[in-house]
């Protein structure tokens, strides 16, 4: 049979009043009125059948019985506080911090991430976008999505997928007078980025020098936007440009694609590998990539 416990609010009011030996200060601590504290303490005394305070007007002095009871309650409340802190800490441990190169974060991962959050509502996801290598463990990052050669010393590394390059252009570029063959690119504006044109030009059998001068885009998302605005022909990675291609804002030119020497990698500090939220995200991400590759095979 369950024990009948006193009203919890009355216990809190009494414990605070006993600690301060003052009803007014207890009222301030619990954001109550002096009268509310006095009422709850009297109700507790009636329920226990014991006097807990000796009253002299507004002056109160705790009784010996009251002091012993207050000490037990103080320990019990401390235990409750410790258990609550442990639960909060467990909740914080369900946070998943991901850092990704900006182009992949904005154009591939972020549009899909809502599905992961729906599947795992207990996980708080923090997505950081950074093009710079970070010390993941030192900065408290659980997962890094990197685009490179897979050489990340001290990290647990999993290859996700490769990518390919090809040229794209807005259907409205030069009033729709688009290049019809790779050799025609000699008469068109080639937008520049950190990714060189030369490997693709060689694969297409075009003897053109690497474009030089003018604006160079370090952010591939801005390169794609400039191409969609009709400013020129851009050499893009498929993963970065596929949204605009699907929507018709960009057209893929020719049937030549060159594989990227860099690939996408899932990088984790050893200390984070065993976290359940990291495992859940890795499994979900691999499945999403498998679906993506089947759709774009």
Q: Identify the domain containing residue 15 by its residue range.
A: 8-90
Query: How many CB atoms are closer than 10 A to CB 35?
Result: 10
Answer with the one of 62, 90, 118 that is the final residue of a domain: 90
Domain shared by 83 and 115, yes or no? no
Q: Write the pLDDT tens digit of every residue in 182-235.
A: 999 999 999 999 889 999 999 999 999 999 988 899 888 889 999 999 999 999
Q: Are 288 and 112 in contact (CB under 8 A)?
A: yes
Query: Same domain for 60 and 107?
Result: no
- Characterize 215-246 residue by residue with b for buried, 16 or more Cβ atoms within 10 angstroms of its Cβ, and e for exposed: eebeebbebbebbbeebbbbbbbbbbbbbbbe
pLDDT interval class at 132 (50, 70, 90): low
In tens, the pLDDT along 239-282 reads 989 889 989 999 999 999 999 999 999 999 999 999 999 999 99
> Residue 41 falls within a domain, yes or no?
yes
User: 219-226 long-range contacts, Cβ below 8 Å, gap at least 24?
Assistant: 219/102, 219/103, 219/131, 220/102, 220/103, 220/193, 220/194, 220/195, 221/102, 221/103, 221/106, 221/107, 223/191, 223/193, 224/107, 224/168, 224/250, 226/191
Query: In CATH, what number is assigned to the domain containing residue 70?
Result: 1.10.10.10
Domains of the chain: total: 2
Domain boundary among 90, 108, 141: 90
């Amino acid at each position: 049979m369950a024990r009948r416990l006193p009203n919890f609010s009355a216990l809190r009011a009494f414990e605070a009043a006993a600690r301060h030996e003052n009803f007014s200060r207890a009222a301030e601590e619990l954001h109550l009125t002096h009268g509310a504290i006095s009422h709850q303490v009297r109700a507790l005394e009636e329920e226990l059948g014991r006097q807990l305070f000796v009253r002299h007007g507004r002056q109160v002095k705790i009784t010996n019985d009251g002091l012993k009871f207050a000490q037990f309650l103080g320990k019990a409340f401390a235990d409750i506080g410790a258990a609550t802190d442990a639960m909060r800490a467990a909740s914080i441990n369900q946070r998943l911090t991901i850092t990704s190169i900006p182009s992949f974060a904005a154009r591939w991962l972020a549009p899909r991430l809502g599905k992961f959050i729906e599947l795992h509502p207990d996980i708080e996801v923090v997505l950081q976008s950074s093009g710079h290598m970070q010390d993941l463990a030192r900065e408290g990052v659980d997962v890094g999505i990197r685009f490179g050669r897979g050489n990340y010393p001290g990290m647990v590394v999993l290859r996700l997928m490769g990518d390919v390059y090809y040229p794209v252009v807005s259907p409205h570029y030069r009033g729709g007078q688009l290049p019809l063959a790779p050799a025609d690119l000699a008469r068109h504006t080639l937008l520049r980025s950190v990714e060189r044109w030369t490997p693709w030009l060689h694969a297409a059998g075009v003897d053109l020098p690497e474009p030089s001068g003018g604006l160079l885009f370090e952010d591939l998302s801005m390169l794609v936007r400039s191409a969609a605005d009709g400013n020129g022909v851009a050499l893009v990675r498929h993963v970065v440009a596929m949204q605009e291609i699907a929507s018709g804002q960009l057209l893929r030119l020719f049937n030549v694609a060159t594989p990227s020497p860099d690939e996408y990698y899932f990088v984790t500090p050893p200390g984070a590998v065993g976290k359940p939220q990291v495992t859940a995200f890795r499994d979900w991400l691999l499945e999403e990539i498998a679906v993506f590759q089947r759709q774009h095979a």
